[in-house]
């Protein structure tokens, strides 16, 4: 059996039509398949490869840690320098109240841990989440996912979850003394890049403070420069009680985290002891990789040119078939009239050597979330490919 046949035979599939492109290597913004076909990666593994694929500094850090030690003990028992150093680096870049890091293996696990922390700290059970939100696929995270189509087959899920309209002031009336936490994406990703108003975010935070409710912001896609600021919440001049990180956090390695104030986080160590534990969360190789990637992001000043690059994309993505271009930094949803139109365009892009896809709750929108190191020449080339794909697919 060849590799492709084995892929379909032995790998669990999550859809009936996976792309099944066999990658040989990935570097910067470029993917190469086993037939030497090159693809500009316009989605960066879905907001993961912010510093580009296989940055030499990240690879160097991984190799260095490989030579020292891999897994040695469950999280929290031994002092592992990559965890400690990365936690310091992250908290130095965050507001004072976000000073204690719990590393996990994934974004969904960060969601799970943060929800448990909120329940423990507040001694309340109600969790408020928003329609069209995505926070992961495990059962707790699925319970707060903002779409019944994906939840329904897996019921019963977590009780006492309330789903509300995002960016609606009326929704905020539901936050009461019973609410343990409100969990929201800082900017909704899978809804097709939906940014709330600054005023709404500020009122949300105020309401949470008034009611003793914790505000959890999911920065799993908005973190690490994606929106033009290091953290998405900086766009709103607020400081949440807990943030969730994942995706770019590991520099291409699997890593998640929830970050809160030490006073809150201490609650996981007592009554019961070991209130939240993980074997591999904060794996030393993943922390070393993430730390190197964050250093690259800052030293190469990748965030500084984001607004300029955003403008360039806007100036080039013009076609009568495009209904809207929503963006926030280097993060775009290109809206078409239907999923069918979008799918044809995406297929054509991939055929022409450009990797993109659609959004879970906005299937009529094409996703752009490239490595932040993408240069002007590659942006121009990418937009030409998109416009060509639109013309080929719509005959306009
Ligand atoms: N939160 C958001 C906003 C995400 O986009 C994702 C993944 O796509 C997650 C949480 C879950 O992260 P993971 O897939 O690492 O569990």
Identify the residue whose C-alpha is closest to ligand 1 atom 1: 135
343 Cβ contact partners less than 8 Å away, ≥ 6 residues apart? 358, 363
% of the chain beyond a pLDDT of 90: 99
Q: How far is the CA of 126 from the centre of ligand 1 (A)?
A: 22
> Are 202 and 75 within one domain?
yes
CATH code, domain with 83: 3.40.640.10
- Reported confidence tier of residue 348, pLDDT bands at 50, 70, 90: very high
- pLDDT tens per residue across span 169-199: 999 999 999 999 999 999 999 999 999 999 9
Average pLDDT for 300-307: 98
- What is the extent of the structural domain holding 115? 56-299
| pLDDT score of 76 more than 90 | no
- Reported confidence tier of residue 340, pLDDT bands at 50, 70, 90: very high
- Return d(Cα 264, Cα 110) in angstroms, integer: 15
Q: Which of 390, 324, 373 is nearest to 41 (CA)?
A: 373
**For residue 200, what is the DSSP state?**
H
- The whole-number pLDDT of residue 75 equals 81
Residue 95: CB atoms within 10 A of its CB come to: 15
- Return d(Cα 35, Cα 338) in angstroms, integer: 32
- The whole-number pLDDT of residue 395 equals 87
> Are 358 and 380 within one domain?
yes
- Among the candidates 299, 323, 357, a domain finishes at 299
Task: Tell me how many domains the chain contains.
Answer: 2
- The whole-number pLDDT of residue 103 equals 98
Ligand 1: lining residues by beta carbon, under 6 Å: 46, 106-108, 111, 134-136, 185, 189, 218, 220-221, 246, 256
Note the pTM of the prediction, 2 decimals.
Answer: 0.98
> Are 321 and 372 within one domain?
yes
- Residues 131, 124, 265: CA angle, nearest 5 degrees: 95
- Among the candidates 256, 276, 299, a domain finishes at 299
Average pLDDT for 105-121: 98
Instruction: Give me the chain's average pLDDT, please.
Output: 97
- Substitution candidate for ligand 1 out of 43, 216, 220, 278 with most atoms within 8 A of CB: 220
Burial class of residue 210 in the structure, from the number of CB atoms within 10 Å of its CB (0-12 exposed, 13-18 middle, 19+ buried): exposed
In the chain, the DSSP E strands lie at 23-27, 30-33, 38-41, 100-104, 126-130, 161-164, 179-185, 214-218, 242-245, 256-260, 324-327, 332-335, 354-355, 358-359, 362-368
The answer to whether the peptide bond before residue 303 is cis (omega within 30 degrees of 0) is no
């Amino acid at each position: 059996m060849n590799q492709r046949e084995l892929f379909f035979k032995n790998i669990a599939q999550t859809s009936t039509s996976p792309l099944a492109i066999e990658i040989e290597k990935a570097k910067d913004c470029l993917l190469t398949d086993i037939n030497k076909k090159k693809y500009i990666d316009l989605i960066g593994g879905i907001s993961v490869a912010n510093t580009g694929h296989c940055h030499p500094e990240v690879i160097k850090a991984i190799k260095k840690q490989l030579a020292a030690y891999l897994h040695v003990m469950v999280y929290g028992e031994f002092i592992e320098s990559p965890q400690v150093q990365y936690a310091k680096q992250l908290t130095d870049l965050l507001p004072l109240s976000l000073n204690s890091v719990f590393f996990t293996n994934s974004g969904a696990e960060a969601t799970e841990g943060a929800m448990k922390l909120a329940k423990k700290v507040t001694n309340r059970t109600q969790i408020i989440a928003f329609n069209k939100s995505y926070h992961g696929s495990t059962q707790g995270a699925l319970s707060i996912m903002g779409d019944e189509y994906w939840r329904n087959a897996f019921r019963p899920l977590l009780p006492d979850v309330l789903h509300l309209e995002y960016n609606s002031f009326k929704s905020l009336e539901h936050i009461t003394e019973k609410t343990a936490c409100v969990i929201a994406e800082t900017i909704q990703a899978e809804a097709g890049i939906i940014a709330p108003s600054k005023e709404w975010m500020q009122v949300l935070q105020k309401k949470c403070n008034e009611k003793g409710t914790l505000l959890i912001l999911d920065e799993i896609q908005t973190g690490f420069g994606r929106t033009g600021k290091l953290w998405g919440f900086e766009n709103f001049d607020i400081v949440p009680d807990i943030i969730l990180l994942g995706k770019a956090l590991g520099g291409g390695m699997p890593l998640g985290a929830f970050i809160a104030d030490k006073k809150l986080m201490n609650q996981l160590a007592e009554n019961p002891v070991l209130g939240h534990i993980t074997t591999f969360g904060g794996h030393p190789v993943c922390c070393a990789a993430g730390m190197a990637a964050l250093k690259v992001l800052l030293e190469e000043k990748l965030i500084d040119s984001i607004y300029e690059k955003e403008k360039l994309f806007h100036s080039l993505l013009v076609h009568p078939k495009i209904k809207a271009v929503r963006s926030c930094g280097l993060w775009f949803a290109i809206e078409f009239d239907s999923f069918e139109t979008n799918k044809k365009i995406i297929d054509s892009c991939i055929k022409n050597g450009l990797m993109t896809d659609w959004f879970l709750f906005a299937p009529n929108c094409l996703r752009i979330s490239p490595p932040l190191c993408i240069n002007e020449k590659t942006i121009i080339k990418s937009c030409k490919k998109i416009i060509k794909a639109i013309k080929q697919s719509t005959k306009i």
